[in-house]
Amino acid sequence: MQSEMGELYALDFDGILCDSCGESSLSALKAAKVRWPSLFHGVDSATQDWIVDQMHSVRPVVETGYENVLLVRLLLETRIPSIRKSSVTEGLTVEGILENWSKLKPVIMEEWSENRETLIDLFGKVRDEWLEQDFATWIGANRFYPGVSDALKFSSSRVYIVTTKQEIHFPCTIFGFTGRPKVKVLKQLQKRPEHQGLTLHFVEDRLATLKNVIKEPELDQWNLYLGNWGYNTQKEREEAAAIPRIQVLELSDFSKKLK
């Protein structure tokens, strides 16, 4: 859908512009070692590398950063049966985590006697310390998806970043909205006088977020896209393809659209 007036793109950050899974997984591993030092005593580097690798597979279930820490421990317990402290880990697979995370999470939180706020604070502290003490390594663990940086720099459309991250540094001059529900931000964007007449596009990698937009009649004019290169599963992509309002988008097509 094109407009002579111009295009406006509201873009998610993690999973659409930036693949931060390497950084969040390593931060979670660092945090898990702080939280449960005895469990990681004697865990070799090969096992730690395996955990980080598996974290890329289970990343689609993460809604809030602290969940990465839980997933690191869960994967460790599935890998080393002798340290199991949870009733759910026996025979648990990556597929099982993807399918049942909403049920698994409250069980392990209770069995491990964990507190959500404590884990949020710990995860944030570990990330901040890593960023401050070794910025080069931290930024190296994040990467922009191929072609995205150039597409942003040379885009002729109005481009906004809609993200829950508190602070982001971009390779180009664009606007960022942080820390607010995405549905709210989309409503604010479409009401701006300078945006009247523009064709509105929202690109996101979480199907649940797009479904929330569809529930809001006020947001009916937004064209919705699920980025299939982001943190979603094949099952979610198939479900999205069956929803008339949502277009499943390839990375190459996304970069072309922005340019």
User: What is the chain's pLDDT, residue by residue, as a tens digit (259 residues)?
Assistant: 444 579 999 999 889 999 999 999 999 999 999 999 999 998 999 999 999 999 999 999 998 899 999 999 999 999 998 888 888 888 889 999 999 999 999 999 999 999 999 999 999 999 999 989 998 998 889 899 999 988 888 888 889 988 766 455 554 435 555 557 889 999 999 999 999 999 999 999 999 999 999 999 999 999 999 999 999 999 999 999 999 999 999 999 998 888 7
Q: Are 7 and 158 in contact (CB under 8 A)?
A: yes
pLDDT value at residue 134 = 93
In whole angstroms, how far apart are CA 233 and each of 11, 97, 209, 240? 19, 12, 14, 11
pLDDT value at residue 172 = 42
Tokens (6 digits) for 2: 């094109």
Q: Which has the closest alpha carbon to 183: 208, 159, 166, 165?
A: 208
pLDDT value at residue 165 = 60
Q: How many CA atoms lie within 13 A of 166 on its CB side?
A: 4
In whole angstroms, how far apart are CA 178 and each of 32, 134, 161, 165, 186? 27, 24, 8, 6, 12
Domains, in order of start, for the chain: 7-18+145-258 (3.40.50.1000), 21-140 (no CATH)
Q: How far is Cα 86 from Cα 95, in angstroms, rounded to an integer?
A: 18
Q: Which amino acid is at 116?
A: R
